[in-house]
Amino acid sequence: MTGLAEWFGSHPVATGVATLTLMLVDWFLTVLQHRERTKYSANHYRSYPVDTVEGNPSLQRAVARAHLLEPRHLLVAVPVSALVAATVWWMPAAARPLLLGYVWGLFFIVSATHLGNLLGYIGSRRGIHGRVWMHQRTGYSVQAGRYVGVTALLAALAVCSGSAFIVGTAVAGITSTARQFVWFRRAPAIAEDDAAPDAT
């Protein structure tokens, strides 16, 4: 994998296109997950106090619009992709795989999570009964647990392979886990007498 990362590091246009593609895949999977849950699972699974599949609070309203091409997302994705391409071009060649591992690792991890959730929603179109309400703080904790597991795997692979690219992805796993805890802290606290919104 390091050889491919080195190739991208010396081809900034390809790096920018690949980064933009990863960001779009992340967005598409988020929207598809939202659409799937809205159509088939909304009566069975919800989160509160905000009912969303998107962890990033700044994007929750945009995801609710469910547009595959969202101007607000593109407004961030295009400049970030250009910045990654420019940074990779100007930095020392030896550091390029580490940077690409980190940046792309962020999107590999979150897209894999989205894909798992999407397949879970599709698989539960039939045979799902009852209703589950999950507080957002609990959701962030569960997601952080998933990221800890992925990060442990990536760290083991980094040690065994010695690949700078995999080291970068392991660091991305640590960052992703930390982000979940930041969002956890920002979500409303769970009250002592907490009850599901429709339980009363």
Residue 33 in this model has a pLDDT that exceeds 70: yes
The pLDDT of 103-128, averaged and rounded, is 87
53 lies in a domain? yes
Q: Label residue 1 by pLDDT band (50, 70, 90).
A: very low
Under the banding of pLDDT at 50, 70 and 90, the label for residue 75 is: very high
Q: Is residue 104 part of a domain?
A: yes
Write the CB contacts of 77 (distance below 8 Å, at least 6 apart in sequence). Answer: 20, 23, 24, 27
Domain span holding position 97: 2-186
Q: Are 55 and 141 in contact (CB under 8 A)?
A: no
37 CB burial (10 A radius; 0-12, 13-18, 19+):
buried
- How far from 153 is each of 26, 119, 168, CA to CA, in Å? 21, 22, 13
Burial environment of residue 175 by CB neighbours within 10 A (0 to 12, 13 to 18, 19 or more): middle
In a domain, 101, yes or no: yes
pLDDT for res 196: 66
| In the chain, % of residues over pLDDT 90 | 44
In which band, very low, low, confident or very high, does the pLDDT at 171 lie, cut at 50, 70 and 90? Answer: very high
